Each structure stands twice: as C-alpha cells, then as structure tokens.
C-alpha cells in the first residue's frame, strides 16, 4: 500500500509486478475501490507492472468536499502516474473509471498505449438521475440505495450462487464515504464525452456484460465511436466483470495487449 498527496488530496495506490515492465493502470467504478481489481492484477502482474488506486472520494483516498469535475480525476491520475514513474500505460477502467480513462486519453494521448473500457459509456445516465442520487447520498447516506445498486452490479446468477461474496461487496459499498460518492456522482452528471471520443487515438477494447443493468450493452456500444474500437460482450455478467469473471476479463486484456504490442 502506498500513498501520495496530489494537489492537497491524499490518494492511495498500489504498484505490483516486475519493475520496468509495460504498465497497466486500473481505474475503479462508483462506490468501489481498487480491491475490485485484485484477481485480475494477480494474473497480469506476472508480466506487467500494475498500478491500481482508489479514486478520490473512495477507499483510503481523501474525499474532499464539493462536486468532483472530470478534470479533478484527470489531475489525480496524472499525479499518481508521475509519482510512480509511469510514462505510458494501457488504462483499464470500469464505469466512471472508463470515463476517466477516456478523458485521460484525450488529454494525454502520448501517455496512453491503449484503453480497456469495461461497462462504461461516454455519457452515463442523465442529469435528473444523478441529481436524485446526489440528494439521497448527501441527505440519507448509501443505505437506501444499496439493494438496487447490488442488483445493477451483479447478475442474478452471482447473487444467487455467491451470497457470501455478495455480502462482502455490499459492505464495501456501504462503507464508501457518502459525500465522496455524491461528489463522484457529480462527475457523472456533468460529463458527456459522446462527441469528444471520436478524437481518441489510442486503440480501444470495449467490454460489456450481458447482465449489466447499470451500463446495458446497447449503451456500452456507444463507445464504438472511438476510431477502431471493438466490443466484446461477456455473457451473464453484470457491471463489474473483474469480480464476477476475472479469468475471462484477464483473457480479453491479454489478447488486447498482444494486439497493441504492449508486453
């Protein structure tokens, strides 16, 4: 576990794998932290230097007050990469982490060797939906929404067959700072990269889960506006494939890394 302060905000990150190996950077989703990548990183860190971090408002990172702009997340990510000595990487982002990855590829094209965009889209939800969620989180915390969130995150099969793990991930969500959660919902409320992603020059693999209720396959398809991007759909999986089917996700990432010549 390592920590760094970027522009006053403390961020928690982990860097594992062979020193000097091609880098992979993992960006987590709303209401989760870097632990969602553990099984994927266990496999990929044999060959790659893997950096994961808790984005602001989540995990062991600070949760500063006020709405977070996409630019705040991009500054954080650039700061963590600079601190870790990573010049260029393939970014693997899920949901809002995918949006952050797209934004980073637009701002720093020279630093992005490729994008793996899981269960995400350049515009997720709408203003009314995020405004309502922000209001709930700020006034009543995360408890009122936990059951609905678990249904969006995990397929019916996962929820039925893996109740103990489900209980653990439920705890992760409930222990997220409600203000950090709400402030990150503001990023989703205010970010629309629908037009901008046509300007991404990095190669992109887009991954969807057929049972994802937070980012349904048809929404995820909108990411194909990235030139040359291709889509893979993991059958029967919900919003967080790194938890439900880490082995399948690892295989997809490994094929993509070969295609783009990144280790």
Ligand X SMILES: O=C(O)CCC(=O)CC(=O)O
Window of 26-34, 71-79, 102-110, 242-250 that interacts with ligand X by CB under 6 A: 26-34
Cα gap 229→217, rounded to integer Å: 15
Q: According to the binding rule CB under 6 A, does residue 183 interact with ligand X?
A: no
Those residues whose C-beta lies under 8 Å from the C-beta of residue 49, and which sit 6 or more positions away, are 15, 16, 17, 18, 19, 20, 21, 22, 23, 24, 86
Q: According to the binding rule CB under 6 A, does residue 49 interact with ligand X?
A: no
- When binding is defined by CB under 6 A, the residue of 49, 52, 95, 222 that contacts ligand X is 95
In sequence order, the β-bridge partners of residue 118 are 94, 207
Count of residues that interact with ligand X, criterion CB under 6 A: 11
Output the DSSP codes for 65-90.
SSPPPHHHHHHHHHHHHHHHT--SEE
Query: Smaller CB distance to ligand X: residue 150 or 233?
Result: 150
CB of 145 to ligand X, least distance (A): 8
Q: Are 134 and 186 in contact (CB under 8 A)?
A: yes
Q: According to the binding rule CB under 6 A, does residue 149 interact with ligand X?
A: yes
Window of 12-20, 25-33, 77-85, 249-257 that interacts with ligand X by CB under 6 A: 25-33
Residue nearest to ligand X (CB): 95
- φ, ψ dihedrals at 87, nearest 5°: -80, -40
Q: Binding pattern to ligand X, positions 217-246, x when CB under 6 A?
A: ----------------------x-------
């Amino acid at each position: 576990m390592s920590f760094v302060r970027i522009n006053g905000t403390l961020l928690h990150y982990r860097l594992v794998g062979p020193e000097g190996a091609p880098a992979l950077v993992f960006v987590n989703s709303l209401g989760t932290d870097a632990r969602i990548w553990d099984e994927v990183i266990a496999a990929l860190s044999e060959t790659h230097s893997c950096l994961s971090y808790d984005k602001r408002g989540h995990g062991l990172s600070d949760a500063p007050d006020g709405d977070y702009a996409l630019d705040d997340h991009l500054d954080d990510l650039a700061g963590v990469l600079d601190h870790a000595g990573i010049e260029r990487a393939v970014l693997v982002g899920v949901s809002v982490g995918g949006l952050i990855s797209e934004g980073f590829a637009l701002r720093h094209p020279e630093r992005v060797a490729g994008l793996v965009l899981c269960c995400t889209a350049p515009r997720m939800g709408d203003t009314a939906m995020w405004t309502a969620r922000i209001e709930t989180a700020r006034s009543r915390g995360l408890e009122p929404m936990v059951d609905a969130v678990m249904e969006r995150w995990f397929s019916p099969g996962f929820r039925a067959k893996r109740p103990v793990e489900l209980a653990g991930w439920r705890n992760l969500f409930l222990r997220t700072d409600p203000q950090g959660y709400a402030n990150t919902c503001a990023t989703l409320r205010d970010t629309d990269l629908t037009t901008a992603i046509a300007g991404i020059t990095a190669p992109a693999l887009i991954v969807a889960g057929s049972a994802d209720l937070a980012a349904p396959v048809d929404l995820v398809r909108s990411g194909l506006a990235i030139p040359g991007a291709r889509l893979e759909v993991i059958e029967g999986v919900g919003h967080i494939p790194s938890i439900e089917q880490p082995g399948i996700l690892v295989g997809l990432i490994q094929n993509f890394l070969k295609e783009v010549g990144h280790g």
